[in-house]
Amino acid sequence: MIAAHIVIAVHALAGSLVILLAPVNLLRRPKDSAHRMIGRSWVLMMYLVCVSGMFIYSLSGGFTIFHALAIFTFGTTTLGVLAIRRRDVRSHIGNMVGSWLGAIGAGAFAFAAPGRTIPTLAIEDPALLWGLVSAVVLVATGWVSWVLLRVPDTRRPTRPSRPVAPPVGAPAANTPVAEAPARTGAEAPARTGAEAPAGSLGDRGLPPRPRIG
């Protein structure tokens, strides 16, 4: 019985940190080393939620949809980690946000379903429940504050974009275009009869007229 209570407490603590830490990274615009450190702690808590959830059988005593949700969330969180290692930001955000929303849904059920540990504690000892909630909020706030204040703001260098190859046969961008050499008088083309200037009749190929008188 004591071991079951410890598992439930670890599960609730890790789940609360998962719900509280995710908005910090979602609302912060710079994706720096603080983002990565908070994200790694979030992933660790999410794995702890999924693994501890597999050992909780207080609802029906057997495998339920929440155990299936824990397995599914474990997979989506792992896919999100692998996606960001490949620099696939869209897939990373989709998997992480989906895992976070799943945790919120499971937490809402844990708070609302009658007979569960949290609703029972809220009725029997509300001071203890709200004391635990306050402690979780203080832990999350302290961790985030320490990371934001102590971790230097360093970002990963972006990969340089690959140069676009020019079309086949087109000159390169930095290649100077050779100019045609100027033609000299000897190389200039000879004028034809049609292009010759008006002059003597001999230039037109006609015999000269004889003089009269």
**188 lies in a domain?**
no
Q: What is the pLDDT of residue 185?
A: 53
pLDDT < 70: residue spans in the chain: 1, 57-61, 114-115, 119, 122, 155-213
Task: Tell whether pTM > 0.75.
Answer: no
**17 lies in a domain?**
yes
CA distance 52 to 66: 12
**121 lies in a domain?**
yes
Q: What is the pLDDT of residue 171?
A: 56
Q: How many domains does the chain have?
A: 1
Q: What is the pLDDT of residue 133?
A: 84
Q: Exposure pattern of 109-127 as b/e (b: 16+ CB <10 Å)?
A: ebeeeeebbbeeeeeeeee
**145 lies in a domain?**
yes
Q: What is the pLDDT of residue 196?
A: 46
Using one digit for the tens of pLDDT, what is the confidence trace for 185-210? 555 555 554 444 554 444 455 555 65
**161 lies in a domain?**
no
Domain extent at residue 121: 2-150
Side-chain-side CA neighbours of 183 within 13 Å: the count stands at: 6
**11 lies in a domain?**
yes
**109 lies in a domain?**
yes
**18 lies in a domain?**
yes
Distance, CA of 121 to chain centre: 41
Helix axes 2-27, 89-112, angle to 10 degrees: 140
Contact 94, 45 (CB under 8 A): no
Using one digit for the tens of pLDDT, what is the confidence trace for 82-115? 999 999 999 999 999 999 999 998 888 877 776 6
